[in-house]
Structure 1
Amino acid sequence: MRRHPVKSMIAVHMREHAPVYLFVIVLFLMGVIFGAIVVNSLNFSQKQDLYYYLTQFFGQVSKGNIASAHDMFQQSYFHNLKYVALMWVLGISIIGLPIILILLFLKGVVVGFTVGFLVNQMGWQGFLLSFVSVMPQNLIIIPAFVIMGVISVSFSLQMVRNQFMKRGHEPIFPMIMRYTMAMMLISVSLLVSSSLEAYVSPLFMKQVIEMVGHK
């Protein structure tokens, strides 16, 4: 424990918040499943319209006619940062607890819909495209959002307990400082996911699109 303080802190955190992690992960997976189901509920015209815009985008990717990697990085990072910051604010507001859960569910819906639509329209080629375009950055984004969601939910619940318990509650300022520090660490991790989305995923996508186009 003394030799590995960070590992021990993580272990304690996971043990104390295991039920919340389980609930949040299940909620996110339900969102993924719901997003995949929504794909099948689209009519033929809606699928054709979406597929048209998708093929146009893939054509631009293969020709290199997309936004610069720097612009993509900025857009991706600030979009994800706003998402995390919103969860931070909702956690402090106490009444934002249900909205945090809705945000996590919607993130799952987006991932499920994106992968489901590509596979539905393009089969194994769509799966390969979703693997290189969606998976790299989401390997970091999804755990980051789940952790932030758990911390926000736990903080909100602690705030509620402090409101109703007159004795033995923890001082609010140290709680907010730890909560803010956690958000800052997660924000730093999002730099890596945005780098993958801006600099790595487009290269993989271009290779896959060219490979699929030759077949």
Structure 2
Amino acid sequence: MLQPFRHTLKDQTPLYVFVAALFLMGVVFGALMVNALSLEQQQDLSRYLGNFFVSVNEGGESFQPMAYWEVAGVHLKWLGLIWLLGLSVIGLPGILVLDFLKGVLIGFTVGCLVGQYTWKGLLFALVSVAPHNLIVIPALVISSVAAIGFSLGIIRSRVLLHRTGNAAKPFLSYTGLTIAMAAVLLAVSSFETWITPTMMSWVTPMIGQSGL
């Protein structure tokens, strides 16, 4: 089980750098998208966030934290799509798009919070967005690199070199690493389900004091 980790962490450093850079580009792009919103869109966003924070602060019915399997399902679907795209040559661009899109989503979320509430929005992002993503993002990056590496291996062996060797061992290593990352995501989903809402409730009173 350790062999896939040694392989990806040691022999695929350039891919890690590339995927991480792509993700960071997505974060920057997502943050810049906030400035591109029209005045009406910004007002709608401000009202939505205001109502959300009031609901969290007062324990309103409109704030219903996601159940564990809903949270885990989101992460596992993302991971499963990366694994599936890695099985084919044509899926390679899709993996890169998913990594970029993940960065965009995080960048846009943090950018909205900071744009609306400055340092208080940043504090809320630190307790609501950052903690679980410190684990989720590396897990998805590792899975993406494994998927890209497996896809490139197919290209080299089947397309360029016209080899028809046994692909069972690479496939098992690739799938084994994906399963390990799934276990990690299942673990972090418990934190996101039961701990993150509590941390959010600690911070929202300070945001409410800003005049919501």
Give yes or no for TM over 0.5: yes
SS of the residue 2:87 aligns to: helix
- Residues 3-42 of structure 1: per-residue CA shift (max 9 Å, x gap): xx94x86455322100100100000000000001100111
Counterpart of 2:79 in structure 1 is: 84
Contact 2:8–2:142, Cα closer than 8 Å, also in 1: no
Q: For residue 72 of structure 1, report the CA deviation from its aligned partner.
A: 2.6
Match of 2:91 in 1: 96
- What is the identity, as a one-letter code, of the residue corresponding to 1:136? P
Q: Which amino acid aligns with 2:33?
A: V
1:132 corresponds in structure 2 to 127
Are 1:67 and 2:26 an aligned pair? no
Letter matched to residue 136 of structure 2: I
Partner AA of 2:103 in structure 1: G
Residue 213 of structure 1 and its aligned partner are, at CA, apart by 2.7
1:34 aligns with 2:29: yes
What CA distance in whole angstroms lies between the structure 1 residues aligned with 2:5 and 2:181? 14
Structure 2's unaligned 5+ residue stretches are none
> Identity over the aligned pairs, expressed in percent?
42
Counterpart among 156, 178, 187 of residue 183 in structure 1: 178
Superimposed CA distance per residue, residues 157-200 of structure 1 (whole angstroms, 9 cap, x where no aligned partner): 00111113145x75211111111111111011011221121111
Aligned equivalents of 2:15, 2:188: Cα separation in 1:
24
Contact 2:89 2:154 in 1 (8 A): yes
Residue type of the alignment partner of 1:117: C
Structure 2 counterpart of 1:112, one-letter code: G
* Matching residue of 1:142: 137
Q: Distance in 2 between matches of 1:60 and 1:181?
A: 42
State whether residues 53 and 207 of structure 2, in contact with CA within 8 Å, keep that contact through their aligned partners in structure 1.
Answer: no
Equivalent residue, structure 1, for 2:194 = 199
Gaps of 5+ in 1: none
Alignment RMSD, CA only? 1.8
Q: Does 1:158 align with 2:138?
A: no
TM-score for both structures, normalised by structure 2: 0.91
State TM-score, norm by structure 1.
0.90
